[in-house]
Structure formats: C-alpha cells, structure tokens
Amino acid sequence: MEIEVKENLTRIDKFLVDYLSESRSTIAKMIENSFILVNGNKVKANYNVKIGDIITVEEGFVEEIDIVPEDIDIDIIYEDDDIIIVNKESGMVVHPGNGNIHGTLVNALLHHTSHLSDINGEIRPGIVHRIDKDTSGLMIVAKNNKAHNILADRLSRHEIKREYIALLKGEFLSDTATIDAPIGRDKVNRKRMAVTSINSKNAITHLRVIERYKNYTLVRLSLETGRTHQIRVHMDYIGYPIYNDPVYTNDNCSEFGQFLHSASIDFIHPTTNEPMHFEVDVPKYFKEFIDSLEKK
C-alpha cells in the first residue's frame, strides 16, 4: 500500500490512524520494524509528514507471537522439491496475523513440511501470493528461496496466469468485459478498497460470462494486475457485486463468504521450466447453490 501525502500535517503515527485499521501504538511498532517507510527510508514515529512524501505500508505485520505447526487437513493438488499447489478452502486465513494466530494455511504447511522458503519471514513461510480468507482455490507455495524468488519475479511481470470463477448478483448482459479502474483504500471504511483516483494503483480485470441465471451471472475472471480485493471491488464498481460478499454488499451473508474461487493457474516451473497447469472445481457449497438456480 502506498500513500502520497498531499499536505503538511502531523506526525506519521497520528496521520496513519485515519488510513489503517490499527492503533497508534501498533502503527508505532510497524514503523519501528520497518513495515512503514517514508520515501523508501525508515523513520521514527514522531516524524512529521510533508507534502510529496510517499508512505509505503507493507502488509503482514504481526506483533510477537509463536507460529506453531498444526495438524490441519489441506488439499494438496501437487508437490515436488520446489513447490506445493494447494486448493485452499473458503474460510481459511492464509497466514497468521493479529487476531488470527491459529488455524491458518501457514500453520498447516508447517506441520506438513519443514521445507518452506523464508523470504517473507517466519509469519509467511512459503507464501508467494495470497487469496482472501473467504476466497477458495489454488495457490502456489514455494519450498525454497530459489523457487520463491523466481516465482515472485514472474508474478510481478504477470507471467503467472490465474483465473477465477465468481457468481455475480444480477444478470450481466454482455458476454465479455474489461474493467480498467484504479484501486485504493476506501476513505470512509479503511477495511475496504475502492475505485478511486486518490493514492491508488491501476487495476485491470477481464470478465467472460459462463452462464446466466435468473438474478445471477456465473463468470470467469482473469487479472492483469493483483490489487487487494481487486475482483470484489471491480464487480461492485460495475454494479454486479459478488454474491454473499460480506464486505462489498449490504446483504445478510452466510459464513461461507463471497462466491469467488481461484479455479486455474498456469505458470512455468521455477526449476524444470516445464509448463504447469492446474484446475479445480468450485467448492461443494458453491456448486450446490449454482445447481439450485434457474437458468435463463
């Protein structure tokens, strides 16, 4: 997350309270541990922000906790000496954080293997990319730093292709669409992202209709960028939010969360350079709900 300061204000820890869902004391600890930088440099919590400052906030800060292996069932689709492909279930947090120190995918991975990359530190071992807690589907995990670096570089250059399946509220009329709209932190609700021109980054999502139902549309989505909540924000922005999304709809949602599934992933293996393709069906609850709908 990047924030550009537009006016001379006050000390950075006080300024960031309005942008982050954290207390001033936690923000101060993030600054001390270099999770927050100004113009690429470490500062102190009493630093006074100035016009033109670029504040970078790195996600994943966790106050001191012990990350322990836990015997949790996970659906491993593929594994070799370099990578693991996991089909993450909806409801599972990817890595520990404040308020979520147990039951995460990382806890399960640490029980499964002692071979995970440590580039992202002890909180996120092996995690090359994430998907939201209530988004299900495919993720790549790196078992060593060499594989991690190669995959992270290819991800940054958009050479890893990921496609998602989502159920949208409403009947989307076009067969295809491209949403090109910048995404940044919502100014009112700091837990949400939004389409905005303020402190935002470009975001592009491609959409293709799979099936239309009465009051719903099943779609396949691919990303050119990987912004936080990108698909969820873009679908809400065009007026067809993802069904059962507790953040981007005002509906009473079930515990399953948004009907969004990481369905397929294509990439070049970091060691063998072989093309890799994996695809998994939507979860049972997702499929049963679709099967109950009336087709158009």
In angstroms, the CA 140 to CA 17 distance is: 33
**Closest of 91, 84, 94, 138 to residue 114, by C-alpha:** 84
CA 90, 157, 223, 198 torsion: positive or negative?
positive
- From residue 118, alpha-carbon distances to 29, 169, 231, 270 in Å are 22, 40, 29, 17
Residue with tokens 């996600």: 59
- Under a CB-based contact definition with an 8 Å cutoff, are residues 101 and 65 in contact? yes
User: Residue 105's closest CA among 143, 144, 66, 131?
Assistant: 131
Half-sphere exposure at residue 224, Cβ-oriented, CA atoms within 13 angstroms: 13
Alpha helices in the chain (DSSP H): 12-16, 24-32, 105-112, 145-156, 230-237, 284-291
Give the residue numbers marked as catalytic: 132
